[in-house]
Amino acid sequence: MVKPLKGVVVSNKMMKSVTVMVERIYKHPRWGKYVKARKKYMAHDENNMCGPGDKVLMVHSRPLSKNKKWVVTEILRKERVYVHDNVGKRKELHVFDGDLGLANANAGGGDDVTGLGAAPQVIGVPSKPAQGSFRGFASSVFGF
């Protein structure tokens, strides 16, 4: 029996198939340093439910094709979905329940990009340097 693998979907451009990247960490036998190893597997996705970035669980099965010997059994975590128009500007964002507080805070409109209220200000630094040289600017900031 082969151990089930967890990985991230890299590609879903094929019908009923996905490419899954599985990452494992092992200790190097000679040097003792921990190394990350990545391997890509072809997996069967019967209902085409997986998208790029989804974390999935795969189990080993009989060979389904030349390269496909794994079947996706469960989607552990779905990746966020952004819908773009053809210009590239974000038109709509599908938000999960946990993110509603942030979405409602930014829905008020206005100039507030950070969600912190007013824009942050730096104290003690003039907005414009003195006309002329750097020495005037340095003396206003550092006091000499």
pLDDT for the residue numbered 39: 97
The model's pLDDT over 120-137, given as tens digits with 9 standing for 90+, comes to 444 554 555 555 555 555
Q: What is the pLDDT of residues 44-57, one digit of tens each?
A: 999 999 999 999 99
pLDDT (tens digit per residue) in 96-111: 454 444 444 445 554 5
Distance, C-alpha 75 to centroid of its chain: 16
The answer to whether the beta carbons of residues 85 and 20 sit under 8 Å apart is no
Residue 97 vs residue 84, higher pLDDT: 84
Looking at residues 86-101, what average pLDDT do you find? 51
Backbone angles phi, psi at 75, to 5 degrees: -95, 115
Task: Round to whole Å and give the CA distance between 122 and 36.
Answer: 42
Q: How confident is the model at residue 118 (pLDDT cuts 50, 70, 90)?
A: low
d(CA 49, CA 12) in angstroms, rounded, equals: 9
Asked whether 106 and 114 are in contact (CB, 8 A), the reply is no
- Asked whether the predicted pLDDT for residue 93 surpasses 60, the reply is no
The pLDDT assigned to 44 comes to: 97
Residue 1 pLDDT class (50, 70, 90 cuts):
confident
Q: Could you give phi then psi for residue 14, rounded to 5 degrees?
A: -100, 160
9-44 pLDDT tens trace: 999 999 999 999 999 999 999 999 999 999 999 999
Tell me the backbone φ, ψ of residue 104, rounded to 5 degrees.
-70, -35
